[in-house]
Amino acid sequence: MKKIAILGVGLLGGSLAMALKKKKDIQLVGWSRRKSARQKASYVLKMVSRLEDAVDSAQIIVICTHSSHVVKILPMIANAADPDALILDVSSVKSEIIREASVYPWAPFHFVPCHPMAGKEKSGVEQADEKLYQGKVVFIAPLKSSPRKLIQKSVLFWKSVGGMPVIISAGQHDQFVALTSHLPHLLAALLTNIYGTYKKKNPLIETAIGSGFRDFTRIAAGNPSMWNDIFQMNRKEIKFFLGQYRKSFLKFEKELTKTKSSYWKPFFEKSKKIREQI
């Protein structure tokens, strides 16, 4: 029986456990740092209070904690896991994690950094969904000297829960998600904060909220601690795309000073065409 340990049983870890529970010959064990989190997750899988007990003799270990905790946990895992253990993570930033993990000589032979493009704006095991990974891209950004056999193991693991693995470099991954995930979250949070400030002055603004505002700001309800880690660890790439965004905004402001402008219709037509292709 293969033992799989899930470290950090929230939305992603809980969804993974639900998907794996249906498979035969698998022993699932979970661990979360806080006692309250372990109690909440106990209905999904067996939870233990000590990380060492969770990873003891485990063949596959999936780290589903916040990004800043991944590398801190790695040395604790290495001493207790199976000698041939496959260690995965699900964090949204790869370059810094790989850089920090590379100090361990054993890391290339066990640790394969991953990032499933799956999630919700609400966190916690209460939001877990057994179908969360089905049809979703899972980026795999291996360490440079990792053997092909280890990488293939990670590919097969994600396929087993319905994921669509894509092998990519850590730098390219961080650049891609800075534009498609991290910057949108920042813009949604900024707009939400502007709304909150204006609402204090004129509460009636609440009656003007439509589906567009709700859709745009939905992701601003994400876990603050998780997003704090992401913006600390991927700040260089986020800053680059924020600069591109700022240049466009300056152009928009200039166009808005004109009484008449031929800029807007072609701009929105172009945006509409690109969005329809997504």
pLDDT (tens digit per residue) in 30-39: 999 999 999 9
Sheet bearing 114-116, strands edge to edge: 114-116, 137-140, 164-167
CB-based contacts of 158, cutoff 8 Å, min separation 6: 114, 116, 133, 138, 140, 164, 165
Domains of the chain: 2-168 (3.40.50.720), 172-276 (1.10.3660.10)
Mean pLDDT of 12-39: 93
269: its two tokens: 């037509």
User: What DSSP string runs through 19-61?
Assistant: HHHTSSSEEEEEE-SSHHHHHHHTTTSEEES-HHHHHTT-SEE
Q: Please report, rounded to a whole number, the percentage of residues in the chain having pLDDT higher than 70.
A: 100
pLDDT for 135: 96
Which residue's structure tokens are 């995965």? 88
Write the single-letter amino acid at 54: A
User: Dihedral (C-alpha) 185, 186, 190, 192: value to the nearest 10 degrees?
Assistant: 10
Model confidence pLDDT, tens digit, residues 96-154: 999 999 999 999 999 999 999 998 888 889 999 999 999 999 999 999 999 999 999 99
Contacts 24+ apart (CB under 8 A), 265-271: none
Please say if the pLDDT value at position 165 is more than 90.
Answer: yes
Please say if the pLDDT value at position 214 is more than 90.
Answer: yes
Using a 10 angstrom Cβ sphere, with 0-12 exposed, 13-18 middle and 19 or more buried, the burial of residue 4 is buried
**108: which DSSP letter?**
G
pLDDT for 120: 83
pTM over 0.75: yes
Contact 59, 85 (CB under 8 A): yes
Assign 24 a pLDDT band (cuts: 50, 70, 90). Answer: confident
Mean pLDDT of 51-76: 92
Q: How far is CA 33 from CA 65, 141, 165, in A?
A: 9, 26, 29
Please say if the pLDDT value at position 80 is more than 80.
Answer: no
Backbone angles phi, psi at 19, to 5 degrees: -70, -35
